[in-house]
């Protein structure tokens, strides 16, 4: 039986075991995917132990993405771009680190991406923004991206990382509503609207949204945030945060096993789990 897992802390809330085990069952693969709660100081021992046990690979989530980046012996272009690893594949000579948050985000929005000229605004400048900027730098190099953030220093750091591929500009937090109104692709990357504070939103004026816009919220608890609901009611094309989770999982599965993933099965497992959570609240 093949062994896979996810390393994080906390990790009990992870939807990856449900998603991956559903995929293995659907494809008739003798494999199991297990959540492992690992403290930061134990990450190296955990990775070495899993490799010694013959694990095929693992996902890595908060707070271990930087630690895994440092530990692996080889890294993909995506991992190098974001300087973080969210998936590891063990090899006979070491371990390869990859980042499917990059490709996963792109696959979640590619079908709805507006035509050129693309005018992107990202709300927030936290760690999740790096994967989005990396994907844009690969697929839409040279475009202008506004980043609405309270701290200009955070945007300056992102510009150092991605400024050679994208034209990044800081949008003052007070100016975010106008920036959203002027954009045709809006990506929400702050924790605002996440359960249990589901009534909060980084945008409080629904008139900034319009038909033809792509609007995504990377928050997926709840699935439909206040932010997404406002955009949807205004006629925008909305993409929920679970889609990014699903597609990064699809890409991890395919990277580990070199075979097509049952994407619909994986999506059904994630949405089923989220709907059960909602029913229990």
Q: Are residues 130 and 89 in the same domain?
A: no
Q: Give per-residue pLDDT as tens, 203-215.
A: 999 999 999 999 9
Per residue of the chain (281 residues), give pLDDT as tens.
999 999 999 999 999 999 999 999 999 999 999 999 999 999 999 999 999 999 999 999 999 999 999 999 999 999 999 999 999 999 999 999 999 999 999 999 999 999 879 999 999 999 899 999 999 999 999 999 999 999 999 999 999 999 999 999 999 999 999 999 999 999 999 999 999 999 999 999 999 999 999 999 999 999 999 999 999 999 999 999 999 999 999 999 999 999 999 999 999 999 999 999 876 55
Q: Are residues 195 and 271 in the same domain?
A: no
Question: Is 218 flagged in the annotation as binding?
Answer: yes
Distance between CA atoms of 242 and 76, rounded to whole angstroms? 24
Question: Is 241 flagged in the annotation as binding?
Answer: yes
Distance between CA atoms of 107 and 181, rounded to whole angstroms? 24
Q: Which two tokens stand for residue 79?
A: 């991992």
Q: Are residues 107 and 201 in the same domain?
A: yes
Q: Are residues 220 and 190 in the same domain?
A: yes
Q: Are residues 59 and 118 in the same domain?
A: no
Give the position of tokens 């220093």.
153
Q: Are residues 89 and 118 in the same domain?
A: no
Q: Are residues 195 and 68 in the same domain?
A: no
| Contact between 90 and 57 (Cβ < 8 Å) | yes
Of 2, 51, 65, 232, catalytic: 65
User: In what side-by-side order are the strands of the sheet with 2-8?
Assistant: 31-37, 2-8, 57-60, 87-90, 95-98, 74-75
Question: Is 220 flagged in the annotation as binding?
Answer: yes
Question: Is 127 flagged in the annotation as binding?
Answer: yes
| Contact between 265 and 26 (Cβ < 8 Å) | yes
Query: Domain containing 20: what range?
Result: 2-98+243-280
Read off the DSSP letter of residue 190: S
Q: Residue 65 catalytic? A: yes
Q: Are residues 38 and 147 in the same domain?
A: no
Question: Is 14 flagged in the annotation as binding?
Answer: yes
Distance between CA atoms of 65 and 63, rounded to whole angstroms? 6
Structural domain count of the chain:
2
Q: Are residues 233 and 253 in the same domain?
A: no
């Amino acid at each position: 039986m093949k062994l896979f897992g996810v390393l994080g802390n906390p990790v009990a809330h992870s939807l990856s075991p449900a998603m991956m085990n559903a995929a293995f069952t659907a494809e008739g693969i003798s494999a199991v995917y297990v959540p492992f709660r690992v403290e930061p100081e134990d990450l190296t021992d955990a990775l070495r132990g899993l490799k010694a046990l013959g694990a095929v690979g693992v996902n890595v989530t908060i707070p271990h993405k930087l630690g895994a980046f440092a530990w692996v012996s080889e890294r993909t272009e995506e991992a190098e771009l974001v300087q973080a690893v969210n998936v590891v594949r063990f090899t006979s000579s070491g371990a390869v680190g990859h980042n499917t948050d990059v490709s996963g985000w792109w696959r979640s929005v590619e079908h709805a991406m507006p035509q050129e000229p693309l005018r992107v605004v990202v709300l927030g400048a936290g760690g999740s923004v790096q994967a989005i900027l990396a994907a844009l730098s690969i697929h839409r190099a040279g475009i202008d991206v506004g980043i609405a953030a309270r701290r200009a220093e955070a945007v300056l750091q992102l510009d150092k990382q991605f400024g050679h591929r994208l034209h990044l500009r800081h949008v003052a937090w007070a100016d975010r509503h106008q920036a959203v109104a002027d954009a045709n692709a809006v990506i929400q990357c702050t924790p605002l609207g996440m359960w249990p504070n589901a009534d909060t939103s980084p945008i409080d004026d629904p008139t900034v949204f319009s038909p033809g816009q792509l609007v995504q919220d990377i928050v997926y608890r709840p699935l439909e945030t206040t932010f997404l609901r406002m955009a949807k009611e205004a006629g925008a094309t909305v993409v929920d945060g679970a889609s990014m989770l699903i597609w990064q999982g699809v890409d991890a599965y395919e990277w580990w096993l070199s075979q097509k993933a049952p994407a619909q099965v994986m999506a059904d497992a994630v949405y089923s789990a989220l709907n059960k959570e909602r029913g229990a609240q």
